[in-house]
Structure 1
């Protein structure tokens, strides 16, 4: 950083003219604007648009191009991207490893997307895995996790987690469960819960053994959403039994543990998630207690609860945010 009085000293010494002094002062008052995130966003969009464009081109000209030519093109793109990344990658480390250049992350992402397209196309057209659909998703999952750790790429890690969910027979987001309304499918709900707990464990173990501990955020992000949503739906599956309250007790126990961990790491985002899911669980209990009241008094109490509790919740969140920033 150039001292504020340097230009004035140069002018007083006669090193620079008055005109130069005025221009330098004017430029100093207008700092440079960083285009870092804008350029990164454009590059990511470019990779996604390229992948989408190749897919549309193949779909519209599949009869004239031929399957072998399409597979060869996808393999060439995938192989070229991985060749560049392996040649320019830095040595592996358990700590954070930054990309060696600007194009590295985006070529790695393009290579992984091309690899997924290649394996999916190969299975769809030639059924190389036969009816072993689990194997068709297991192999890409292993490759993606290896790439994510070898090249230290958070985006690839997210894709690998999604592939893990596909391998387990579910979607990594709860859209499927919400859209299908399949609340009675205990197998689906328990699979979500198992996946969520596995991801939470992976996040804590990453930090515990100091092995790519910056991956902890991605694991906990998916794990918290999946675990809490699965526990809530498990409660609804046993709404009229004592087992339903057991699922809510498990939810509150998990919430308490994750809340303490969020306080320890000063993570407002994870703390916010835990508070919102806990609030939803408490609201479910309040609604169930007032469900037996058939008169308007129960409805008024329920409305009063949501008004008062929502206000108290917002005040609590604001105070926690200030507390974390101050600490």
Structure 2
């Protein structure tokens, strides 16, 4: 094929610009192993920390707790020293890593720090029964490190520690499987956490301060807030207060819906549609149950079949609108 292109170019049938483009396309292309290397580095940090943990656990009687704490402290200090020496100047915008290993050394430093504080509290009760302080210090350090070094992974760790400090779990799966929603305290704690995270996502964009952190705040905030509002609705099912939580779900859905279109985010649009569908379906089921009629059961079956089909068409149309926006 190259000889053919040369002949066509020599006869003037192909311009110089087109011929150069063809030559570039014919040249062997480089294969990027960027994500493969990043994955291996993350696995390396994970395997290192896991291996050290197993080694220490199996030999704790001969090693001693003081030596373990000293080892963890040295790893933490060494990693942080390297990070402070090699990091690029702070900026409110996104800052690139100075080299490939920087992010993973910093990640190891933070894991070591959390392990050190946790070990110190577990073995020596350094903070006594003040567990709030034992979780507050790692949380503040992680938020500082995430912003100072511009590290999204550590920001996620900081958000998780914020949830731990508030006495809850930020992971939606854990939230659904292990939390007791039959408690006003838990519901309002989740709601406060979700509002704080959503406020953080808004602030990052509004003040143009680490705008790329918005997704992490909004991702957790949307899940936690929607689930806490739904939990409040079911908790106050027999009270008029359920209306307040339904209004809250509607207001949140409208806010996230507009933001999703503004930022062309199908992911958050999908979350709005799914949580809204759950809310509407619960209201429909509630009305049908009140009918106390055998026909209500058939109507319920027809509703779920028809609404599921409608949901698919809505998502397809919204995806098209976002792409066309």
TM-score (ref. length: structure 1): 0.90
Equivalent residue runs for 1:103-182 within 5 Å? 103-180=101-178, 182=180
Mapping 1:68-83, distance limit 5 Å: 68-83=66-81
Aligned counterpart, 1:240: 238
**C-alpha distance in 2, partners of 1:262/1:215?**
16
| Structure 1 residue corresponding to 2:250, chosen from 252, 258, 263 | 252
Distance 1:28 1:64 in 2: 63
Equivalent-residue separation in structure 2 for 1:59 and 1:260 (angstroms): 51
Deviation at 1:108, TM superposition (A): 0.6
* 1:268 alignment partner in structure 2: 266
Measure the CA separation in 2 of the matches of 1:174 and 1:25: 51
Deviation string 1:274-309 (CA, Å, 9 cap, x unpaired) is 111111100110010111233431111111111111
Tell me the equivalent position of 2:94. Answer: 96
Partner of 1:302: 300
- After superposition, the Cα gap between the structure-2 partners of 1:154 and 1:181, relative to the gap in structure 1 and judged at 3 Å, is closer
Is the CA contact (8 Å cut-off) linking 1:183 and 1:236 kept in structure 2?
no
Residues 102-111 or 48-57, more deviating:
48-57
Structure 1 residues 63 and 27, CA gap change in structure 2 (3 angstroms): farther
* RMSD across aligned positions (CA): 2.1
Pick from 221, 224, 229: which aligns with 1:223?
221
Q: Are 1:74 and 1:114, in contact at CA under 8 Å, matched by a contact in 2?
A: yes
Give the drift of 1:176. 4.6
Q: Deviations over 1:232-277 (max 9, x none)?
A: 0001110011111221111111111111111111111111111111
Rounded Cα–Cα distance in structure 1 between residues aligned with 2:274 and 2:225: 13
In the alignment, which residue of structure 1 is the partner of 2:310?
312
Most deviating of 228-237 and 313-322: 313-322
Residues 198 and 223, structure 1, Cα contact 8 Å, conserved in 2: yes
Gaps of 5+ in 1: 13-23
SS of residue in 2 equivalent to 1:242: coil
1:193 equivalent in structure 2: 191
**In the aligned structure 1, how far is the partner of 2:24 from the partner of 2:264?**
41
Q: What are the superposed Cα offsets for residues 47-94 of structure 1, whole Å, 9 maximum, x if unpaired?
A: 111111111111111101111111111111111111111110000000
Gaps of 5+ in 2: 11-21
Shift of 1:33: 2.1
Partner Cα separation in structure 2 for residue 55 and residue 36 of structure 1: 29
- Displacement of 1:190: 0.5
In the alignment, the residues of structure 2 paired with residue 177 and residue 82 of structure 1 have an alpha-carbon distance, to the nearest angstrom, of 33
1:219 shift after superposition: 0.3
Distance in 2 between residues matched to 1:133 and 1:40, nearest whole Å = 35
Give the Cα–Cα distance (whole angstroms) in 2 for the partners of residues 33 and 306 of structure 1. 47
State the alpha-carbon separation in 1 of the partners of residues 39 and 175 from structure 2: 31
Count of residues in correspondence between the two structures: 311
Cα distance in 2 between the residues matched to 1:72 and 1:57: 15
| Of 154-163 and 183-192, the range deviating more from structure 2 | 183-192
Alpha-carbon deviations, 1:183-232, whole Å to 9, x = none? 32110110000000000001101111111111000000000000000000
Q: Does structure 2 retain, via aligned residues, the 8 Å contact 1:199–1:219? A: yes
